[in-house]
Structure 1
């Protein structure tokens, strides 16, 4: 099963537990605590970095030892949305690409 399909299934199950109307409106969004818990339990991903998008939204990257990754945007209300997910994360590539790293 592909990583993207698995992520969609996890997020879908979170959304279903929140109610059908809310799930349809939210897409791949859930309360931050629930989303982070699911990323840890299902994909063994932990936060690898974060940065501010603006004063109301934080961008976070979660990565596993196996190389799966998920990019999440979290707002000040505690809602988080998956922006992207994939496989093949390589932290050494980031170090080479960043000057002074």
Structure 2
């Protein structure tokens, strides 16, 4: 999530998104979730940029990708917590 927001922030501020992507992903090269978030936001940025070449619109697409990833992660965490609570109720009467 942090990686995706980092790409979005770089895009909004007008930094070189390819450079930011490389720096963010390289910060912790074995961190799978970091790399995934960076790629997801960078891919959204590049796809939007190819449509009309508008960097601000592309930055918005990167931010939307980061927000979507954040929401998906929160929803998955809530489902896991609910499942864990059910298991604890069964194991600890």
What TM-score results when the alignment is normalised by the length of structure 1? 0.31
Higher helix share goes to which structure?
Answer: 2
Q: Would you tell me which structure has more strand in proportion to its own residues?
A: 1
Greater gyration radius = 2
* TM-score normalised by structure 2 residue count: 0.32
